[in-house]
Amino acid sequence: MTFIKTSSILLFLVVLSTFSAVSAAERETPIVKAVARVRQAVVNIRTEQIVRRNNTPFGFGDSFFEQFFRDMLPPASMTNQSLGSGVIIDPAGYVLTNAHVVAKASRIFVALPDRNDEIEAELIGVDERLDLAVLQIKEKGEWPYITPARSDDLMLGETVIAIGNPLGLGHSITTGIISSVARRIELENGVSSVFIQSDALINPGNSGGPLININGELIGINTAIARQAQGIGFSIPSDIAKRVLNELIEHGQVRPLYLGIVSGDVGDSFVPRDGMRGVVIVDFLDDSPVQKAGLRVADVIQAVNGVAVAGINELNAQLATYPPDSTMTLQILRGLKKIDYEVKLVLLSDEYLMAYTRRTFGFEYEVDRGGLLVTSVKKISPAAQAGIEPGDRVVEIARRKVGNPDNFRRLMAALIGREPLSFLVVRDKRGYLLQLPQD
């Protein structure tokens, strides 16, 4: 009797162990395999920012007492820290992440999943408009990496996985399905961007980490900058990241390009049946890329490489995702006929900016760190009508600081074609807010 009971127990244990082995194999789903494939390349990013402040004995903020003691006491410094995620995309240690994760960082450190220490990294390139940045790990070695894959073949309803390493202690993993492959989102300052939208949640600490498909392929970079993200996640498509990677690595930024158009809004009565509003070409400068490509005044640009554009902001946002000497396909509406045009993109030159400003607003300038110093004004022009004079200084355009020459080029790359624009003009230490051209 005891032998029978013992045999039964042994048989039960054998069956149970066999069932457990099969069950473990069955639990290794495509998602588990995909995460295992990429997890070593997902890093934690910690930044330090040195903030200078003045010590005062009062806690009144920007009060009279605060101002009185500000120059009397030595300044103190404090270190702010922020955390985010990133993904290694090259064995040489290049890390792709969000620009806002490393914004204003004095020092940057990365932590890999199976290491107990942090490694210092160097900021190689950054583009705030695209919210992308490239770092490089300073320590030499062959690093685990994921090569960015294509994102133009994504499908609605496709399963995706968002991975982060927010605390350096382990991975944060969420799954979801794609609900839009090209969601246009309006961000701050009139800037718009195109994102992959899914219901894979992206917390702030996961920002900069990879979005992968069930094959473990890198299809996007997760971002937490879109305020609309409530219960949903947005990711920068990998196709955009791939296009600008060399620019970020070789030049430290995505250099601004231009099409050379003066645009207008498509009126409600002229919106085509398909609802694609687009950008109407009112005029363009000689020898501009669109003129060379064969576009005409009154053509309506409806899409860029199949991505619909509703206005000049979205057109400029698409333009910002391409490097110099590349081509983009513009889908235009000419009358009732739809035509595709290949446009070769070129750098936004200082000569073009001067010609555009002279023609559109009616003044010439010199650029320094204080903004635009107006050097001459055409007699019959919007600038003359508004009262601008030589010696005036333009410090803001469209409520954004002009800054140095590089910043001015990036600013104008986003504003070219938009009319009217607001100009903050300073004369004799007084500011005047003007609109050019005036309505």
Q: 78-106 burial by CB neighbour count: b if 16+ within 10 A, else e?
A: eeeebbbbbbbbbeebbbbbbbbbbeebe
Q: Measuring CA to CA, how many Å separate 349 from each of 109, 245, 256, 376, 407?
A: 36, 22, 9, 20, 13
Distance separating alpha carbons of residues 234 and 160, to the nearest angstrom: 12
Q: What is the dihedral of CA 95, 100, 106, 111, to 10 degrees?
A: -40
Longest CA–CA separation in the chain, Å: 115
Rounded to the nearest 10 degrees, how much is the dihedral formed by the CA atoms of 329, 330, 334, 338? 50
> How do beta strands 279-284 and 233-237 pair?
unpaired
Closest residue by Cα to residue 31 from 156, 177, 133, 153: 177
| β-bridge mates for residue 195, sequence order | 183
List b or e across 405-434, with b for residues whose CB sees 16 or more CB atoms inside 10 angstroms: eeebbbbbbbbbbebebebbbeeeeeeeeb
Alpha carbons 214 and 264: distance in angstroms, whole number = 43
- Active-site annotation, residues: 100, 131, 207
Read off the tokens for 140.
Answer: 């030499």
Please give the Cα distance from 309 to 305 (Å, whole number): 10
- DSSP code at position 268: G
A 10 A CB-CB count for 297 gives 12
Q: What dihedral do alpha carbons 270, 273, 279, 282 form, nearest 10°? A: -30
What is the four-CA torsion angle of 336, 339, 344, 350, rounded to 10 degrees? Answer: 0
Q: Where are the beta strands (DSSP E) in 218-290?
A: 218-223, 233-237, 257-258, 261-264, 279-284
Closest C-alpha to 367, from 337, 336, 409? 409
